[in-house]
Structure formats: structure tokens, C-alpha cells
Structure 1
Amino acid sequence: MDAALDLRGTYQVRARQVVHAPAALTAGLDVLRCFGFDVTEPEPVRRRKIPGGTVKIVFALDGVFGGRSIQPTALVVGLHDRAGMTEHAGRMHSVQLQLEPLAARRLLGVPLDDLRNTAAPLDELLGPPVAELTERLAETGTWPERFAQVTTFLRERFAAAEPPDPVVAHAVRVLRHSGGGVPIGVLAREIGWSHRHFRRRFADQVGLAPKDYGSLLRFSGALDALTRPGADAGAVAARFGYYDQSHLTRAFQRFAGAPPGRLIRAAADSSKTAAGVRF
């Protein structure tokens, strides 16, 4: 999910619109968010990217990147297990989706570990229908019409797709329920798979090895807890199973690219826009 963490200081956004699709539109598709993003900004923007455990699909309808206009295009952003940075300049206009990993694996039909820590053109995975959809979205004048077109495309893809591996789906549920706290060896033994086979099947379906996915879930819980008023880093570390604050700090360096104190102070120092983006 997107995190309300602003790391750009007092940077002003000239015009911004985020329009969320009705939840009923994508019901049953494991789409966490479907929204339209329309922004015009006066200078280049650099954002810290923080992994959030989802796969993101972006239909870029028009915009400016690197000082030049871009044509309508679609990208898929795979699961990340490390922090990164992103930037853009000028106008950005897009329809964006955030999907659960198992839903993304079903939609895309390719091993998600092939997309780990990277982005790829969506039409290279799904073919000409993606290019056709992207062009239609760019030519469509209203957000409800765009959301309806994207939903129709998703429903058709999901209807023809294989369901997720039920064993991996069970493992994902267990890890989520425990916040990443279940030891991977214990989970593999419960399932009845060897550790190697479990790792391979899980990475194919989810995009990260089970240990990395569990670590990301634990980090996400700690990050959410630390953004609450009056949060204590030591108490949060103990609550989420970190040995001590140093262990917690190493997790933040890996996933957010900054120690907890610096990240939270940066968020508190600014109130205009969200620049720490969970993806």
C-alpha cells in the first residue's frame, strides 16, 4: 500500500488528483487498489520507494520523463525486497493497479521471481491486447470509463487463467497471519515439502523466497507501528520479533534505505505530499 511518508521536505505539488475506483468494480479479483493518478509538478520529483509486498501495474497515458514526452505505455513492477528511488518530471497521467502477488502470478502467467526488483513492459508478457487497451485508456475521457475498461480486461484474463498453487496460497496466508513470524523450516515441514522445493515453488508464485517475503511482512508491520504517535522503537522491535533495535535498523536499511528515526523524522518534517511510496 502507499505509505503516508513525505521525504521531499516542503516541495509543493501544483495540481494533483487521485481518483479511486469503486471497490465493487474489482471485487473478487484480489486487486487491492485501482486508481487514477493525474499530477502536474513544477520541477523534477525524486521519491524513495519502499517495498510493500504488492505487484503494481501502471498504464501511463501521457507524461514527461527525462525531459521528453512519453507515449502511452504499460508497465508491471514486480515485488521488491530492497529500497530504491524513482523520479519523474512534469505531467504524469495514469491508471494504476496494486495486486496481491498470487493474483499477479495468475494474471501474468509467468514466474514472478523473473520480475523481482525490476519493471517490465506489460505487452511483452500479455501481448497486443495490452497495447490496444492502453491506447483506448488514453483516448477515453472519464475515470469511470477507464476503470470499467481495465476491469473488463482483468476479468477476461482471470477467467482464462490457472488458479494459484493451493499449497503456496496456504503458506502465504500463514505468513500473513503471523506477520512473517513463522519459521520457514517449520512451515515447509508442515506442508511436507523439502526446503528447496518450497523455496522454488513459493518464489515462482509470489516473487520472493519465503524467508524474504516473511521479512518484508515483518518490516511492514514495524513500519506501520512506528508511524503511530508515541511509538517506541525498542517496544516495536520486541513486538515484531527483532532481537534488538540494531536488528530493526538493519531491516529498515534494507527495505527503506534509511534507519527508522531518520525516516520517521523526515515524514514528520513535511505535510504536503507523500513521497515515501510503498510498492
Structure 2
Amino acid sequence: MRSDRLSDLRGTYQVRSHQLVSAPASAFTGLEVVRCVGFDVLEPNPVRRRKIPGGTVKLVFALEGTFEGRSLDPTALVIGLHDRAGTAGHAGRMRSVQVQLDPLTARRLLGVPMDELRNGAVELAEFHGRAVRRLAERLAEIPTWPARFALVAEYLRERSAAADDREDAAVTYAVRELRRSRGLLPIATLAAESGWSPRHFRRRFAEQVGLPPKDYGSLLRFSAALSALASEPTRDMSTLAGDFGYYDQSHLIRDFRRFAGAPPGRLLD
């Protein structure tokens, strides 16, 4: 399978890879950006695309287009962590810049509880004011992707300088350990190590990450299994389930239905 298959599955490429422009990492030197991409898509007929959560918070600067039947003026959205699959409708022209952030980085930049954004999208102006709308308008006027990426990086540097850098060491540690274990480390162990009650640990984790620790761990495990399956689509499902800590094949299929909206076999068709 091609290396871009995983992005195709997640809906990142919006059907054709040549309509996506990836920003070079050098454009965001010193910033905690997972990825930044530009889209320029033209669909003569309405389409719906599968959206599979990937564990990042997204800042989307919509420059032009139609989304869910509504024509958009230049605007900016923040899309929180999702714990389920979804779809998105599109027809006509769509141009946008999407910045993917680690949830802890997003919390520092936005300064709001991340669980308020769970499974939702909110105008970024609610957090950063009218200047964000003006930024989206400027991005729409700029003719080249490198110049757009540079302007977005400038905005992120300004926000980073003003961000509250205080972090909760217990949550930061828990996130790191869940990622290291691909979501398999028992939540009870992390709660005990934090020194908090299980209830307080769950609340603090969800506030700073956007999902409760159990759901976040499930998403990490699913993402690892999806990556493996995208690399080797003929892989035996029972073996895949065992390799990633699922109780059995049925357990794996339930997670795929939840996060991808389809069982593995249909997803890869």
C-alpha cells in the first residue's frame, strides 16, 4: 500500500493528493506544530468524505468554499478532539489552511478547557477576537502557499509568546505514558501515580486533553492499529487484535466502527 494510504483513509487528502500542499517543517521552527497543510479543492458535484479522528486539535483557516451546503466567508475554526467517526460534505471550491496541534499545546494557546471542544467546532474568534477574522481575510488575499504558511506561523508565534506555559505535570506524564504504550497502560495505574483520586484525575485529564483518559487511550490504540493496517492491508485481523492489546477480533471491530465508522474490511475496500 502506498505511504499516503493512511492520510487517504483519514480524509486528509480530500480525494486527490495533488490538491494538498504540506508546509515544510522549517516554516514552523520553534513551534509545537504536528502538521500544517493547505487545501485547494474543486468538486463539481457534492461529495461526502469520511472523517477519522487522529488525536489532534485543528485550527482551520477557511479562505473560500462551501461546507455542509453553506457558502463561507474567510473565517477560522478550532476543531476539538473527536471520539467517534464523522463525515463532511463539500461541493464547489474549497481553499483552507489547517494546522494540527497536540491537545496540550492547543490548551496553552487557547487558554480554555479542552473538553468544552469535544466533538465540536467553534469559531477561533471566540478565543482570540476579531484579529483572527482579519487574519483569515489576509490569508485569502495572499496568492502563494509559502506566504500563507509564514503568516500562520507568525500568528502562532504571537500566541505562543502570550500563552500560559504552566502545565500540570501529572497530566503531561500521563499523556506521554499513554502514547508510549499505545493506549494500553491501565488508567488506574496513571491515576494512582498522579496522587489524585480516580475521579479528580479523570476530570483534570479531560479538561486539559479534551477526552477522558480511557477514551484517549482507546483512540491511541485504534490509531496505532489503523496505521499498521494501512501499511499491511492483508494482515490477519485476529493477529492485529492481539498485537494491539484488544481482547479479541470483535473488540477491534467495535473500535473501528466507533472511530472509523466501518469495520476494517469495508474501510479498506
- Return the offset for 1:81: 0.3
Q: TM-score by structure 1 length?
A: 0.88
1:196 correspondence with 2:191 = no
Structure with bigger RCO (C-alpha 8 Å, 6+ apart): 1
SS in 2 for 1:255: helix
1:72 correspondence with 2:74 = yes
Moved over 6 A (4+): none
SS in 1 for 2:44: coil
- Return the offset for 1:18: 1.5
Question: Measured at CA, do residues 189 and 218 of structure 1 come closer, stay the same or move farther in structure 2, by a change above 3 Å?
Answer: same
- Return the offset for 1:132: 1.4
Q: Deviations over 1:188-235 (max 9, x none)?
A: 111211111111111111000011000000011111112223311111
1:235 corresponding residue in structure 2:
239
- Return the offset for 1:27: 2.6
Task: Please say if residues 34 and 101 of structure 2, whose CA atoms lie closer than 8 Å, have aligned partners that are also in contact.
Answer: yes
Q: TM-score by structure 2 length?
A: 0.92
SS in 2 for 1:57: strand
Distance 1:92 1:129 in 2: 22
1:35 corresponding residue in structure 2:
37
Q: Deviations over 1:68-118 (max 9, x none)?
A: 532101111100001111111110001111111011111111101000001
1:113 corresponding residue in structure 2:
115
Question: Measured at CA, do residues 160 and 68 of structure 1 come closer, stay the same or move farther in structure 2, by a change above 3 Å?
Answer: closer
SS in 2 for 1:216: helix
SS in 2 for 1:4: helix
Distance 2:114 2:103 in 1: 8
- Return the offset for 1:12: 7.5
2:132 corresponding residue in structure 1:
130
Q: Show the 5 A alignment for 1:41-190.
A: 41-66=43-68, 69-163=71-165, 164-190=167-193
- Return the offset for 1:128: 1.2
- Return the offset for 1:5: 3.8
2:19 corresponding residue in structure 1:
17
Unaligned runs of 5+ in 2: none
Task: Please say if residues 16 and 38 of structure 1, whose CA atoms lie closer than 8 Å, have aligned partners that are also in contact.
Answer: no
Task: Please say if residues 29 and 103 of structure 1, whose CA atoms lie closer than 8 Å, have aligned partners that are also in contact.
Answer: no
Among all aligned residue pairs of Structure 1 and Structure 2, give the percentage whose two residues are the same amino acid.
Answer: 63
**For structure 1, which segment, 235-244 or 157-166, has the greater mean C-alpha deviation from structure 2 after superposition?**
157-166
Q: Deviations over 1:139-196 (max 9, x none)?
A: 1111111111111110110111112322211111000000001000011111211111
Task: Name the amino acid aligned to 2:111.
Answer: G
- Return the offset for 1:16: 4.8
Distance 1:84 1:58 in 2: 17
Equivalent pairs counted in the alignment come to 262
Distance 2:224 2:257 in 1: 15
1:272 corresponding residue in structure 2:
none
Task: Name the amino acid aligned to 2:246.
Answer: Y
SS in 1 for 2:6: coil
Task: Please say if residues 52 and 220 of structure 1, whose CA atoms lie closer than 8 Å, have aligned partners that are also in contact.
Answer: yes
SS in 2 for 1:89: strand
Distance 1:44 1:187 in 2: 46
Distance 1:99 1:186 in 2: 27
